[in-house]
Amino acid sequence: MLRLLFLLSLLLLAGCTQEQIPITKENASQIHASNPSGIEVNSKKLIESKTDQATSQPSTFGTSKEPIIRDQEVGVIPTSLSIPAIEVHAKVMNVGLLENGQMGVPTDYMEVGWFEPGTKPGDRGNAVLAGHVDSKTGPAIFFHLEKLQVGDEVIVTGEQGENLTFIVRDKKIFPKDNAPVFEIFGYTSRRMLNLITCTGTFDRKQGGHIDRLVIYTELKEDNQ
């Protein structure tokens, strides 16, 4: 059931594969990715899972005189990413569904993609940024991502110029067809930002790397 809450491709990047995923009206609600990631794409379930989080608990506020305390939203629409430890400074582009029915990918190997229908960096949940590890001509923006260590900082700048600092909490490598999708993309009460790129051996037959590297970062306390 958890896989049905939010099924996305971990990496729809040319650095991992040259293919994009065609999404039609017939298969938009649940489509199995044909690219090497092997992970289903289900943008409809993303919206439903967010709604479920807001409505799953019965409300008793209607008859209460107690003030309602609303959770502070600090999320930003990211425009740039900085990772001092590996000297990364990159523009961030929104990634969503294109008019032609395909899921967008960073067209520039030195840019990073943010899945815009998902969580904003800084809000509660798992925001996701993905970048190329390499290209046909050499290293790409996330080539040195694997060098990050727990405690390193990741800085996201929003469209209003605001900066949010995230701290690396963990890093894991998963086989491309056996990654914990809910752990990476699903809901959490923490304010997480997960960075994804390809890693491992390059499979020439499939045209992509066999593994995925995920860097888990969390919003620094003084930003909350």
> Catalytic amino acids?
132, 198
- C-beta contacts of 158-165 below 8 A and 24+ residues apart: 158/76, 158/77, 158/78, 158/79, 158/121, 159/76, 159/77, 159/78, 159/79, 160/76, 162/76, 164/74, 164/76, 164/121, 164/122, 164/219, 164/220, 164/223, 165/219, 165/220, 165/223
- Taking CA 213 as the corner, what is the angle to CA 128 and CA 221, rounded to the nearest 5 degrees? 50
CB of 121 closer than 8 Å to CB of 100? no
d(CA 174, CA 181): 11
Chain centroid offset of residue 214 CA: 10
For 7, phi then psi, to 5°, come to: -105, 115
Strands 88-95 and 112-115: parallel
Across the chain, how many H-helices and E-strands are there? 3, 10
The candidate with the shortest Cα–Cα distance to 7, out of 36, 49, 35, is 49
